[in-house]
Amino acid sequence: MNERKELHATEGHIFTNGTVYGTEIWLAEGVSGEDFYEITLEEYNAIAESEEATEEDYRNALNDMGVNV
C-alpha cells in the first residue's frame, strides 16, 4: 500500500495546491503533497469571495432589472 500523507496547517493558515483547500488534509494514496503550501486565512477568505462573483453577478443583474433579491 502506498504511503498516505497528512497535512496539518499552522494556526491561522490553510494548506492549498491552488484547487484543494484545508486546515487538515489527508492526501489520497500516491499524492506527494509537494505542491501544497500554506496561505493565511485572510488570503483564503479573499479567494473564496472572488469565486462568488458568478452568483453575485446574477443577483446584480436582477437588482438592475428592479427585481429585489
Residues that bind another protein (CB under 8 A): 1-2, 4, 14, 20-29, 31, 55, 58, 61-62, 64-65, 67-69
Shortest separation between residue 31's beta carbon and another protein, angstroms:
6
Shortest separation between residue 25's beta carbon and another protein, angstroms:
5
**Residue partners of 11: CB distance under 8 A and separation at least 6:** none
Determine the 3-state secondary structure of 53 from DSSP: helix
> How far apart (Å, rounded) are the C-alpha atoms in residues 31 and 38?
17
Shortest separation between residue 37's beta carbon and another protein, angstroms:
14
> How far apart (Å, rounded) are the C-alpha atoms in residues 49 and 41?
12
